[in-house]
């Protein structure tokens, strides 16, 4: 039997430059050096017009939230479309693009139930049609110490919550991913308690930053990115950004969520980006932005301190991680 000895200098899988980015490095360098800031993707991709969401669905996209530092730029699109966490297809970052070709995201229904005045089941097009699509450029931070900057297209989660009128007893909102083992091979394993479930406290869902994304880089989400609709909560770690949502439930009790149920010692319910709380197997103090070659300090609440810190006043953020 052969035993592999891992040296301290051996990079972790999440620190290795994704193959598509390496193969397209000249294109990436050219685009990155063309301008400082968001580069050539700034308006063409961050605020597309006439965004096509679904069949016979056409809407303009308005400029939304965008607050990046001088040394930040939008992640090269190839990385976003090829380097993903989507556990239903497998644990490797390349499993989603390699194994999702058979995933069917149309037709698609979303159930709204629980402690709300207007429970219903809606086709996804009818679900999103009342809202204005916005372009929002957000950082996305993974617990595995890598991050991206992505120009999302989506709708305000707060507006969705208000539409279905949560009752006074509602304290949390639970989200559930579709369960299709024939199309999502990792659902045939015990890797996680399927279907994938995530949740937010009601005030978190009502925060203006919370987004239900239907696209990125000026187009609808591809199979590997969680179509037709997914959650984006930019001040929390990426595992809160549940994909391919089929159910939204208003509830009084804190729901049991996928990673918090599977490994509670490593993944807390709150999942707020906090550089002072280490993951048991690595430090969260720094991160590598995909496309960069130098690590940077992790920002408290992923850089959204002013927008969200008030929601956690009085909480022990070392305990409620």
pLDDT of residue 3: 37
Q: Is the pLDDT of residue 83 over 80?
A: yes
Phi, psi for residue 219 in degrees, rounded to 5: -145, 165
Q: What is the mean pLDDT of residues 204-219?
A: 96
Q: Is the pLDDT of residue 234 over 80?
A: yes
pLDDT of residue 43: 40
Query: How big is the chain, counted in residues?
Result: 321
Note the pLDDT tens digit of each residue in 169-198.
999 999 999 999 999 999 999 999 999 999
Q: Is the pLDDT of residue 28 over 80?
A: no
Note the pLDDT tens digit of each residue in 48-72.
556 778 777 767 889 999 988 888 9
pLDDT-based confidence at residue 112 (cuts at 50, 70, 90): very high
pLDDT-based confidence at residue 80 (cuts at 50, 70, 90): very high
Which two three-digit tokens encode residue 29?
A: 């360098």
CA 14/CA 117 separation, integer angstroms: 44
Note the pLDDT tens digit of each residue in 125-167.
999 999 999 999 999 999 999 999 999 999 999 999 999 999 9
Q: Is the pLDDT of residue 41 over 80?
A: no
- N-terminal to C-terminal alpha carbon distance within the chain: 41
Q: Is the pLDDT of residue 47 over 70?
A: no
pLDDT of residue 50: 67
Note the pLDDT tens digit of each residue in 267-318.
999 999 999 999 999 999 999 999 998 999 999 999 999 999 999 999 999 9
pLDDT of residue 49: 59
The structural domains of the chain, ordered by start, are: 14-312 (3.90.420.10)
pLDDT-based confidence at residue 247 (cuts at 50, 70, 90): very high
Q: Is the pLDDT of residue 17 over 90?
A: no
């Amino acid at each position: 039997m052969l035993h592999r000895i891992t040296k301290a200098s051996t990079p972790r899988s999440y620190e290795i430059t994704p193959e598509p980015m390496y193969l397209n490095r000249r294109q990436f360098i050219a685009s990155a050096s063309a301008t400082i800031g968001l580069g050539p993707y700034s308006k063409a991709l961050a605020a597309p017009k006439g965004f096509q969401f679904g069949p016979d669905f056409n809407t303009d996209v308005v400029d939304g939230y965008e607050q990046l530092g001088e040394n930040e730029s939008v992640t090269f699109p190839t990385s976003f479309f090829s380097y993903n966490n989507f556990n239903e297809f497998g644990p490797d970052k390349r499993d989603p693009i390699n194994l999702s070709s058979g995933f069917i995201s149309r037709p698609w229904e979303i159930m709204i139930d629980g402690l709300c005045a207007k429970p219903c089941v809606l086709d996804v097009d009818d679900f999103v049609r009342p809202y204005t699509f916005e372009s929002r450029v957000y950082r996305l931070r993974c617990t595995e110490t890598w991050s991206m900057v992505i120009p999302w297209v989506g709708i305000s989660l707060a507006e969705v919550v208000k539409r279905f009128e949560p009752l006074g007893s509602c304290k949390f909102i639970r989200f559930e991913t579709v369960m299709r083992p024939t199309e999502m091979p990792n659902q045939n394993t015990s890797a996680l308690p399927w279907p994938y479930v995530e949740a937010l406290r009601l005030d978190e869902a009502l925060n203006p930053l919370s987004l239900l994304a239907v696209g990125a880089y000026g187009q609808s989400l591809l199979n590997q990115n969680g179509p037709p609709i997914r959650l984006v909560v930019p001040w929390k770690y990426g595992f809160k950004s549940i994909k391919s949502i089929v159910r939204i439930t208003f509830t009084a009790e804190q729901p049991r969520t996928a990673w918090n149920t599977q490994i509670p010692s490593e993944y807390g319910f709150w999942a707020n980006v906090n550089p002072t709380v280490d993951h048991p197997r690595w430090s969260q103090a720094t991160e590598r932005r995909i496309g960069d070659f130098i690590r940077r300090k992790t920002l408290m609440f992923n850089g959204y301190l002013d927008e969200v810190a008030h929601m956690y006043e009085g909480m022990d953020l070392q305990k409620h991680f």
